[in-house]
Amino acid sequence: MTQHTLQGREEGEVTWFQRRDTLKAAAAWVAMGGLPAAMAQQRSNVVEMVGDVLLNGRRMSPQQTIQTGDEIATGPASRLIFVLGNASFNVRQNSRLTVERGITLHTVSLLRLLTGGVVSAFGRGPSRTIATPTLTAGIRGTGVYTEVFADQGNRSYFCNCYGTVDMEASGNRALSVSSYHQAFWGEVQPKGERFLTPAPALNHTDEELEFLARLINQRTAWQIAGRTGVKDGRGYMETRPPEAHPASVR
């Protein structure tokens, strides 16, 4: 398994894909035709649910269907894996998020993460956005990990694991083009006059992204290329005029 650094998370939260029950659930989801078959047969779009999960404030069952406009909250030692449109999500424990509607009922236009963490894989399609208390990211068919650190004043972490992402934090803007984990902090208070700063790869693994990509019949950039890269947080460029803000950090 790929090396990873944990910050405020436990090992089991990033090795969930190794569980026998999880592998069986994913295999069954793919074998039964994925989301198109689930919609045609009016089955749930939940791949796996562990522990206590609230859907719009009420305890959720694995047979329920998540739709755009819904609010999801996971409790301690809980998680939720689901597919919506051509996007798949693994919601970590102690998380709260909303999925807002795009051009159709089953298309996500905005994922708003209020607390906790979520691993996401998005297929190509209309523009989508992930928003946290301190940053926003425009998605163009990519795999990402997003986390809000409540113990750090809701400081936000965002990793563009592969793909192209436009990011903004308190007026600082950057374009991230990544094939292997390019991560950022959305700062609560500026660091060196900047609200968008480079970050290490934290709290997620290659295998999680590969698992979620497979659920939507996709592959990660490193699977397609047949090699991984370096998690150095570089390779992005500032998109504001240079006179409007301090020099880029690289």
Confidence category of residue 223, pLDDT binned at 50, 70, 90: very high
101 and 109 Cβ atoms separated by less than 8 Å: yes
Q: Does residue 106 or residue 135 have the better pLDDT?
A: 135
Mean pLDDT of the chain: 88
pLDDT at 218 exceeding the cut of 80: yes
Q: What's the alpha-carbon Rg for the chain, to the nearest Å? A: 17
Return d(Cα 236, Cα 137) in angstroms, integer: 13
pLDDT at position 249, please? Answer: 35
Give the global pTM. Answer: 0.90
Name the helix (H) or strand (E) containing 96.
strand 96-101
Residues 61-107: pLDDT tens digits?
999 999 888 999 999 999 999 999 889 999 999 999 999 876 666 67
Residues 22-63: pLDDT tens digits?
999 999 988 989 888 888 888 899 999 999 999 999 999 999
Return d(Cα 37, Cα 170) in angstroms, integer: 42
With 0-12 / 13-18 / 19 or more C-beta atoms within 10 angstroms meaning exposed / middle / buried, residue 59 is exposed
Return d(Cα 236, Cα 249) in angstroms, integer: 10
Residues 156-213: pLDDT tens digits?
999 999 999 999 999 999 999 999 999 999 999 999 889 999 999 999 999 999 999 9
pLDDT at position 179, please? Answer: 92
Q: Does residue 203 or residue 235 have the better pLDDT?
A: 203
What sign results for the dihedral spanned by CA atoms 165, 171, 172, 173?
positive
